Structure 1
Amino acid sequence: MRHLLFPSDTSDSTFEIPFEELYEKGYRGVIFDIDNTLVPHGAPADERAVLFFKRLHQIGYDTVLLSNNKEPRVSSFADDVESKYIYKANKPMKKGYMRAMERMNTEPSNTLFVGDQIFTDVWGANRVGIRTYLVNQIDKKEEIQIVLKRKIEAVVLVFYKLHLHKQKRAEKKRKHQGTGGRIK
């Protein structure tokens, strides 16, 4: 179960993810959380978000905003960035992620998910096999229930970093064995 909580990748910011490279690798759809992933919690779409979605659409991506928020919040943001959306998604339940892929006509193998929370965003997307990006939250001011989840997420991230370290050590060992013990 632990690996379902680990993101496929991490990024300091949504805006630093190498979307062009990922498109070249065959990804065609991106599902986004909104609050603290694209803008501070509750903020409207800003110019950076609008230009970012234009860039994604020019690359060739289809996009869906997947939020547990109510329709007025999600639809107004979606209108501003010209994206499809699903509100009251009940993340981390699988249904919202599946509906998002249906709307983009994509599969888990060519879909990305970007969000700032492990227990809603990453866990839900991992459960349906979507490649996940966990990004740093934009604004540290949050509702109390999210603040408490962040403390538990910090523990999960410690195990995630240990997992990455073990993977790197194993890869280094395989490379070393592949050279007959000689260092190239």
Structure 2
Amino acid sequence: MLFDQFYPDEYVDSTYGIDFPALWEMGIRGLLFDIDNTLVPHGKPATEEAVLLFERLHAIGFETCLISNNQEPRVTPFADAMKTKYIYNAHKPSGKNYGKAMELMGTDAGTTVFIGDQLFTDVWGARRAGIYSILVKPIHPKEEIQIVLKRYLERIVLHFYKKSLKK
């Protein structure tokens, strides 16, 4: 199918609703996260909810890493607040830095999951790196113009994705 390369492995309402203990039971040991509109609204600092999530994930035993196309001044303080590894200016959807993130975590494509809110950067990059992907609905509707334009195209792909699930 034309759009298959953009289809996530799962599509859920929120990062905060994912059953992380079930992922652990499946053998997942590393979690890669996008930041904006995946963990917090676009451009916002780490929230208490996000920090508590990462504390819970680390207590379970997960390795975590943020992988963001944002620049260092955005990503470093966020990662520090979350006490996690990170890669900034990641050039998603290139798969190269997904591989680097797995190296940082000591995981591989079979034991890593990527969680993000965009099909054409997050999900496509994860697919290119051979990583299981979970697409989450964006936390907040306010986004940069280039993302707003991509969302129109995403709606078309998601329409076909949802139709493929019904088959």
Report TM bin, short chain: over 0.9
- The DSSP-based 3-state class of the residue aligned with 1:114 is strand
Are positions 1:18 and 2:19 aligned together?
yes
Partners of 1:43 and 1:131 in 2: how far apart? 27
State how far apart, in whole Å, the 1-side matches of 2:129 and 2:4 are.
13
List alignment gaps of at least 5 residues for structure 2: none
1:128 Cα deviation after fit: 1.2
Question: Could you tell me which residue of structure 2 aligns to residue 161 of structure 1?
Answer: 162
Any idea what SS the aligned residue of 1:134 has?
strand
Report deviation, 1:2. 2.2
Q: How many corresponding residue pairs? A: 166
What does residue 33 of structure 1 align with?
34
- Measured against aligned partners, the alpha-carbon deviations of 1:124-163 in whole angstroms (never above 9, x if no partner) come to 0011111100000011011111101000000000010111
Rg (Cα) greater in structure: 1
Q: Is contact 2:7–2:119 with CA below 8 Å preserved after alignment? A: yes
Q: What's the counterpart of residue 147 of structure 2?
A: 146
The correspondence of residues 1-184 of structure 1 with structure 2, limited to 5 A, is 2-166=3-167
Structure 1: segments with no counterpart, 5+ residues: 167-184
Measured on the aligned residues, the alpha-carbon RMSD in Å equals: 0.7
Highest RCO, 1 vs 2 (Cα 8 Å, sep ≥ 6): 2
Q: Percent identity between the aligned chains?
A: 58
3-state SS of 1:91 partner = coil
Q: Report the TM-score, using the length of structure 2 for normalisation.
A: 0.98
Contact between 2:96 and 2:129, CA under 8 Å: does it hold in 1? no
> Under a length normalisation based on structure 1, what TM-score does the superposition of the two structures give?
0.89
The one-letter code matched in structure 1 to 2:103 is E
Flag as ranges the 4+ runs of structure 1 deviating above 4 A: none
Separation (CA, whole Å) in 2 of partners of 1:138 and 1:161: 20
